[in-house]
A and B are shown apart, each in its own frame.
Chain A
Amino acid sequence: MDHRSPLDARHPGPLDPFTAPATASFTDYVAATAPHLLPGRATAAQAAAHSAAGLDVPHGTTIVALVCADGVIIAGDRRATSGNVIAQRDIEKVFVTDSYSAVGIAGSAGIALEMVRLFTVDLEHYEKIEGVPLSLDGKANKLAGMVRQNLGAAMQGFVVVPLFVGYDTDAADASKAGRIVTYDPTGGRYDEWLGYHSVGSGSVFAKSSMKKLHDPTNDLARTIRTAVEALYDAADDDTATGGPDTVRRIYPIVVSITAEGAVRRSEEEIAAVVDQVIAGRTEKPGG
C-alpha cells in the first residue's frame, strides 16, 4: 500500500507535503496527498464489478431530530441489522461532531461511521488552522459534499443518509438557532424548518409520532421525552429499529445542543425517561 508517512524520503523536508500553502479542509488535503485514506472511493471502484446484493453489511436504522426552545436534539436507536439478522444491539449512530453540531447516521454502517469520523476531523482541522470554527451552513455544506462523494458506492447499494443538527451561534433570534439539515444520497441538502425530522427504516413511524407529539416551543426535557416516544413508536412497527432494552440496559443515544454546547445526555437520564415512556405504554400501548 502506498502509505505516505511525514518522513517520506521522496520529499526533501519531512513536512514538505504538509506545508504547501493550501486549503483549510482536511478532506481536500487528504484527497491530494493520501486518497486511499478516504472512505467510499475504494468501495465504489471495487463494487463496480459486483452488486451489493450478495454482500450483507450492517445497516443503521432510525434517527430522529427535534428543535426545541433551547436548541435542538438528536437521538438514535441502537440496532444495526444485516438482512433479517440483528448485526449489533448496541451500535452508536449519533455523534457529537464539534462543540455546536452533531450527526446521526442511517444506512450502510461501515461507510457512514467512516464518513462521520472524517467529518469530525475536518471540522476540528478547520478550526485549528483558521482559529475560528466553520459557520453552521459551512458545516452542513461540507457534509453534503461528503455524501455526494459517496454517490458511486450508493449506486451499488451502500447508501448513507446522515441527519445533521447544529446550534447557530450567529443566529439573530436565539429561538431559531437550533437547526436540522437532511440529505439525500446524491448530496442534496435540505433545511427542515418545521422543527422535526427522521431518517432510516423506522422514520415513517417516528415522523408520524413526532407530528402529533412535538411542539418546537417545548423545553429540553419535554423534547427528549418526545424523541424517546418517537423511537419507541418506530421500534413498535419497524423490525429493523431496536426498542429500549431494559434487560441489557441499552437505551437510545440522545445529544442535545444548546447555547452551552453539544452534550451527550447521560445514560441515567435517558434510562429515567425510558422508564416513564414504558410505564405510559403499559397503561396505553398506543402512547
Chain B
Amino acid sequence: MTMPFYSSVDQLLRDRSELARKGIARGRSVVVLTYAGGVLFVAENHSTALHKVSEIYDRIGFAAVGRYNEFENLRTGGIRAADVRGYSYDRRDVTGRWLANVYAQTLGSIFIDQQKPFEVEVCVAEVGETAEADQLYRITYDGSITDEPKFVVMGGQTEPISAKLGETFEPGQELADVIAVAVGGLQAGGAPGNGAATEERILGVSALEVAVLERGRPRRSFRRITGAALRELLPAANRGADDAEPEVGGDDAPAASGAEPEA
C-alpha cells in the first residue's frame, strides 16, 4: 500500500482558495445595486444566450461570475429548491435569506469535500415591499456569506469598480441614473486580465446584460432590459458604442486556470 503525500489542511485550503480566486479574477465583472424601484443587475456579458443574471423566484434574482457550468448548476439547483419549497408551503415562504443560506451551505461543502472548489461567486438579491427591505447577499467560493447594504461587485477587477461605485453610488436613485452609475463602475475595471483600466472603455448594448427586480410588479418581479429599451436608458456616450467585431460570450478562461503559473 502506498502512503499518500501529507499536506496540511491549512495548505490544502489555501491552495484551493488561490485557485478559485484566480479563476474568478480572470472573468468579466457583474454589479448588483439597489435603486428606488428595486434591484438592478448589470453584467459585462457579450453573450445573449449564456446569462450571468437570472430569475429564481417571484422576488428573488441571481447573479454570478466565474465558470459557467458551475454557476449554471447552482442556478438550476436554486430554481428547483425554490419551486419545491414554494409548492409545498406557500410562495411567500421562499425568501432570499433562505436561498442564500442554501447556496452558502452548498459552496461550503463543495469547498471542503471536493478536489476542486467551484470557481464562482454568487449574489442573491431579493426585492422587498419597501426599499429598506431590499436585500443583497454575496456568497463566495468557500461558502462565506455577507449581507451587503448598498451594492455588490463580483468578478475580475473588483477594486477599481468598488472604488468608483463608492464615489458615485447613492441609495434611492432612479433607474436611468443607477444604470449610468453601474456602467461607469464596470468601465472603471479594465478588460479581463489587464488589471486596472489602461484606456477608456465604453460598453454598449451588446456588451451588457441588464435586468431588474421591480418592486411595483405583481408576482414575478424579474425583468430583463434589452435592445432598444436598454439603449434609451444608457448614458448618451454608451448608446452608440457597439462591438465592431462581436466578442465571444460565455466562459472567459479555462477551468482551474488559477492553477497555471502567472505569466
Contacts and interface: CB of A to CB of B under 8 A. Distances in A.
Contact-residue bracket for chain A: 20 to 34
Interface residues of B, number: 27
Interface stretch (B11-19, B103-111, B125-133, B233-241): B103-111
Contact of B109 (A6, A12, A26): A12
Contact of A13 (B51, B56, B87, B105): B105
- Point out which of B76, B105, B113 has the most chain A C-beta atoms below 10 A from its C-beta: B76
Interface stretch (A14-22, A105-113, A147-155, A174-182): A14-22
A128 B54 contact: yes
B163 interface: no
A129 B54 CA distance: 9
A211 interface: no
B84 interface: yes
A128 B110 contact: no
Contact of A30 (B87, B102, B103): B87
A163 to B, nearest CB: 23
Interface string B66-97: 00000001101111110111111000000000
Given A12-B109, A13-B110, A131-B51, A30 B74 contact: no
A37 B105 contact: no
B55 interface: yes
Contacts of B220: 124
Nearest to B83: A125
Interface in A35-86: 37
A37 B55 CA distance: 24
B79 A128 contact: yes
Contacts of B79: 125, 128-129
Nearest to B106: A15
A139 to B, nearest CB: 17
Nearest to B109: A13
Given A18-B77, A129-B76, A118 B87 contact: yes
Q: Is the interface of A mostly helix, strand, loop or mixed?
A: helix
Contacts of B103: 15
Contacts of B80: 18, 26, 29, 125
A34 B88 CA distance: 10
A78 to B, nearest CB: 22
A19 to B, nearest CB: 4
B104 to A, nearest CB: 9
A1 to B, nearest CB: 11
Nearest to A34: B84
A128 B51 CA distance: 12
Given A12-B113, A18-B80, A121 B85 contact: no
Interface string A100-139: 0000000000000000011001001100110100000000
A117 B74 contact: no
Interface of B: 49, 51, 54-56, 73-74, 76-81, 83-88, 102-103, 105-106, 109-110, 113, 220
Interface of A: 3, 6-7, 12-15, 18-19, 21, 26, 29-30, 33-34, 37, 117-118, 121, 124-125, 128-129, 131
27 contacts: A7-B102, A12-B109, A12-B113, A13-B106, A14-B102, A14-B105, A15-B81, A15-B102, A15-B103, A18-B77, A18-B80, A18-B81, A19-B73, A19-B74, A21-B73, A26-B83, A29-B80, A29-B84, A30-B84, A34-B88, A37-B87, A37-B88, A121-B86, A124-B83, A124-B220, A128-B55, A131-B49
Across the A-B interface, the 10 shortest Cβ-Cβ residue pairs: A18-B77, A19-B77, A15-B77, A18-B80, A15-B106, A14-B105, A6-B81, A13-B109, A128-B79, A13-B106
